[in-house]
Structure 1
Amino acid sequence: MNKLALVGGRIFSDYDLFENRALIVEDGKVIAMVDPAEIPDDCQQIDVHGANICAGLIDLQLYGDGDDLFSAQLTSESLQRISDRLVSKGTTSYMMTLATNTFSVFKEAIRVASHFHHDALLGLHLEGPFLNVKKRGAHPAELIVKATKENIKELLGEHNMVVKMMTIAPECMDDDVLEYLQSYELLLSAGHSDATSIEGIKGFDLGIPTSTHLFNAMSPLHHREIGMVGAIFNHPTACSSIIVDGHHVNFEAVKIAKKQMGERLFLITDAVAACSEGIYQHVLNDGYYSLPDGTISGAAVSLFESVKNAVLRVDIPLEEAIRMATTYPARLLKRSDIGNLNCGSIANLLIFSSDFELQNVMVKGELIS
Structure 2
Amino acid sequence: MQSIIFQNATVFTGDSFLSGASVRISDGYIQEISENGNIPATDSGTVVDLQGDYLLPGMIDLQLYGGSNLFLNDIPTPETVRHIYESHRRNGTTTLLPTIHSTSLDIMLQSMAAVAIVRDENPFGVPGIHIEGPYFNPIKRGAHSMAYVRTPAEGELETLFGSNADVIRILTLAPEILTNEQLATLQRLKHPDTRLSLGHSNATYQQAMNAFDSGFPLATHLYNAMRGFESREPGIVGAVFDHASVHASVIADGYHCHPVAIRTAYRLLGERMFLISDALFANPPRPNFSLGEFVVHFEPDTHGPGRYVNNEGNLAGSALTLIDCVRVAVDQAGIPLSNALRMATAIPAELIGLGNQLGKIKPGYVANLIQTNQTLAVKNVWTTTF
What range is the shorter-chain TM-score in? Answer: over 0.9
Q: Which amino acid aligns with 1:137?
A: G
Q: 1:81 is matched with which residue: 65, 70, 83?
A: 83
SS of structure 1 residue aligned to 2:109: helix
Q: Which residue of 1 aligns with 2:357?
A: 337
Aligned partners of 2:23, 2:109: CA distance in 1, in Å?
A: 43
- Structure 2, unmatched stretches of 5+, are 301-305
Aligned partners of 1:298, 1:178: CA distance in 2, in Å?
A: 28
Conserved? CA contact 1:29–1:347, under 8 Å: yes
Deviations 1:61-110 (A, max 9, x none): 00002221111122222222211111001000001101111112112212
Q: Which residue of 2 aligns with 1:29?
A: 29
Alpha-carbon spacing, 1:281–1:87, altered in 2? closer, same or farther (3 Å):
same
Q: Which amino acid aligns with 2:233?
A: E
Q: Which amino acid aligns with 1:353?
A: N
Conserved? CA contact 2:8–2:20, under 8 Å: yes
Q: Which residue of 1 aligns with 2:264?
A: 256
Tell me whether 1:305 sits opposite 2:346 in the alignment: no
Greater alpha carbon shift after TM alignment, 170-179 vs 160-169: 170-179
Q: CA deviation at 1:321?
A: 0.7
Q: Which residue of 2 aligns with 1:66?
A: 68
Tell me whether 1:245 sits opposite 2:253 in the alignment: yes
Alpha-carbon spacing, 1:206–1:290, altered in 2? closer, same or farther (3 Å):
same
Q: CA deviation at 1:177?
A: 2.9
Greater alpha carbon shift after TM alignment, 106-115 vs 248-257: 106-115
Q: Which residue of 2 aligns with 1:278?
A: 292
Deviations 1:243-301 (A, max 9, x none): 01111111111111111111111000111034234332221012100112322111112
Q: Which residue of 2 aligns with 1:139?
A: 144
Alpha-carbon spacing, 1:96–1:77, altered in 2? closer, same or farther (3 Å):
same
Greater alpha carbon shift after TM alignment, 101-110 vs 257-266: 101-110
Q: Which amino acid aligns with 1:214?
A: L
Q: CA deviation at 1:228?
A: 0.3
Alpha-carbon spacing, 1:37–1:13, altered in 2? closer, same or farther (3 Å):
closer
Alpha-carbon spacing, 1:179–1:53, altered in 2? closer, same or farther (3 Å):
farther
Q: CA deviation at 1:159?
A: 5.5
Deviations 1:163-200 (A, max 9, x none): 22100112223344334323422111100010110000
Q: Which residue of 1 aligns with 2:55?
A: 53
Aligned partners of 2:39, 2:106: CA distance in 1, in Å?
A: 57
Aligned partners of 2:24, 2:183: CA distance in 1, in Å?
A: 45
Greater alpha carbon shift after TM alignment, 17-26 vs 109-118: 109-118
SS of structure 2 residue aligned to 1:329: helix
Greater alpha carbon shift after TM alignment, 72-81 vs 347-356: 72-81
Greater alpha carbon shift after TM alignment, 103-112 vs 140-149: 140-149
Conserved? CA contact 1:189–1:209, under 8 Å: yes
Q: Which residue of 2 aligns with 1:216?
A: 224
Aligned partners of 2:243, 2:254: CA distance in 1, in Å?
A: 26
Aligned partners of 2:240, 2:116: CA distance in 1, in Å?
A: 33
Aligned length: 366
Q: 2:199 is matched with which residue: 191, 195, 213?
A: 191
Tell me whether 1:292 sits opposite 2:311 in the alignment: yes
Q: Which amino acid aligns with 2:158?
A: K
Aligned partners of 1:9, 1:351: CA distance in 2, in Å?
A: 9
Conserved? CA contact 2:66–2:279, under 8 Å: yes
Identity of aligned residues (%): 31
Alpha-carbon spacing, 1:277–1:135, altered in 2? closer, same or farther (3 Å):
closer
Aligned partners of 2:161, 2:59: CA distance in 1, in Å?
A: 28
Conserved? CA contact 1:3–1:24, under 8 Å: yes
Deviations 1:41-60 (A, max 9, x none): 34422110010111000100
Conserved? CA contact 1:26–1:365, under 8 Å: no
Conserved? CA contact 2:84–2:98, under 8 Å: no
Conserved? CA contact 2:250–2:275, under 8 Å: yes
Greater alpha carbon shift after TM alignment, 83-92 vs 114-123: 114-123
Tell me whether 1:359 sits opposite 2:367 in the alignment: no
Alpha-carbon spacing, 1:329–1:208, altered in 2? closer, same or farther (3 Å):
same
Tell me whether 1:203 sits opposite 2:211 in the alignment: yes
Aligned partners of 1:193, 1:201: CA distance in 2, in Å?
A: 13
Conserved? CA contact 1:72–1:278, under 8 Å: no
Alpha-carbon spacing, 1:158–1:139, altered in 2? closer, same or farther (3 Å):
same
- In the superposition, the TM-score normalised over structure 1's length comes to 0.94
Q: Which residue of 2 aligns with 1:169?
A: 174
